[in-house]
Amino acid sequence: MKILFVCSGNVYRSPLAEALLKKLRPNWTVDSAGMRLVLPIADEVRAFLKEEGAENLLKKHPESLMEKNLADYDIIVAMEPIHRDYILSLCPQCKDKIVVWNIPDPYLMNKRAMWKIFQKIKAKVTELANLSP
């Protein structure tokens, strides 16, 4: 199974989801990317993943969606509808592969609100991991 997580900058949501799913499904090919790259991966993501025992699975740097061959993935998870729309502009034939999670961007949120978003991502990743053997 090949999974791609997509968010705005590959700073919070998508790299977190990538690392969590890699922990749950080490035999799957899991990746993440952002629509635009302006910041490094957030320290808060590293801290959350450390608590989850998955810090070692976090990528070192954000990656651009433009670098990915979208047709290669079985499932593409868009964190918000805007990400789905952007993916479709790059790969119209990917329509049936895209799932939208409706997870807001935690950028500029306080730590408590951010952790709630991270817990929601963890729950969605766990659901995804349990969908297939």
The pLDDT assigned to 131 comes to: 84
pTM above 0.85, yes or no: yes
**Distance, CA of 109 to CA of 33 (rounded, Å):** 21
% pLDDT > 70, the chain? 98
Residue 132 confidence (pLDDT) above 80:
no
Q: Give the architecture-level CATH label for domain 2-131.
A: 3-Layer(aba) Sandwich (3.40)
**Distance, CA of 19 to CA of 32 (rounded, Å):** 9
The pLDDT assigned to 38 comes to: 86
- Mean pLDDT computed over 32-55: 95
Query: Per-domain residue ranges for the chain?
Result: 2-131
